[in-house]
Structures are given as C-alpha cells and as structure tokens.
Amino acid sequence: MTFDTTLELCRDRYRRIILAALAAEQRSLTVNDLSKTIFEYNNQLKVVDTSEEIRTETQLSLHHSHIPKLESAGVIEYDPERKLVEPTEQFNQLQPYLSAILCIDPDLDGSMKL
C-alpha cells in the first residue's frame, strides 16, 4: 500500500471517518455503525437528530461510493448480506500512513467512539 493510495482514500471526509472508525475499533463494523459514526463526526449530530433524507443520502453514498472504493483498494472486505465491513491485511499495512493523516484532521481527534 503506497502513501499516494492512502492519500487518495483519505481525500473524502466520509472515507476518513470510516477508516478512523475501523482503526479505532480494530474489528469488523456494520454499515449502521459506520453511518452513526459519520453522522456524529461529519454533522455533529446523533442519528435520531438527522432527517430521513440525510440518513438515506448517507447510506446510499456508503453503498455506492465509499465502501466500493475502499473494497477495490483492498483495505476492506464487504459482506452485503450481513452489511459488514471487515478490515483486511492491506488495511493493517495502511495504518502508519493513516495514523499520520488522521492525527492532522482537526475533526477526528483520536478519541473516536462508536
């Protein structure tokens, strides 16, 4: 995994949040877990405080854009039946670069919790 690839994956805020959540938890996460984390860190809101339109838009962007991009880079495996995102060995190789990038993101302060 190259630094340039890591930068490309981290270009989008949603993907940075997804990668930060996976790094913090060190385990597989559901799409719902990731959605909740995106609402909290991107919108500074709880899921119950967001509109149905925003929730739907976020879910669609995860399914059609962000999860496929991370999967095609080989950093996650996605099980659509279980709606489960699992970090891969490639993700582990990405960790040093990812840590440096996430440390300088002012909205991802390292204390990410699901």
Comparing 9 with 56, which gets the higher pLDDT? 9
Token pair of 55, please? 């929730």
Q: Which of 65, 69, 62 is nearest to 83 (CA)?
A: 62
- In this prediction, residue 29 has a pLDDT band, given cuts at 50, 70 and 90, of very high
The pTM of this model reads: 0.87
Give the list of residues 6+ apart from residue 36 with CB closer than 8 angstroms, or none: 46, 47, 114
Q: Which of 86, 84, 88, 91 is nearest to 31 (CA)?
A: 84
Range 35-54 average pLDDT: 77
SS3 109: coil
Residue 112 has pLDDT above 70, yes or no: no
- In this prediction, residue 113 has a pLDDT band, given cuts at 50, 70 and 90, of low
The domains found in the chain, sorted by start residue, are 3-103 (1.10.10)
- In this prediction, residue 56 has a pLDDT band, given cuts at 50, 70 and 90, of confident
Give the list of residues 6+ apart from residue 32 with CB closer than 8 angstroms, or none: 83
Residue 110 has pLDDT above 60, yes or no: no
From residue 103, give the alpha-carbon distance in Å to each of 5, 20, 84, 94.
18, 10, 26, 14
Q: CA-CA distance, 9 to 44, in Å (whole number)?
A: 22
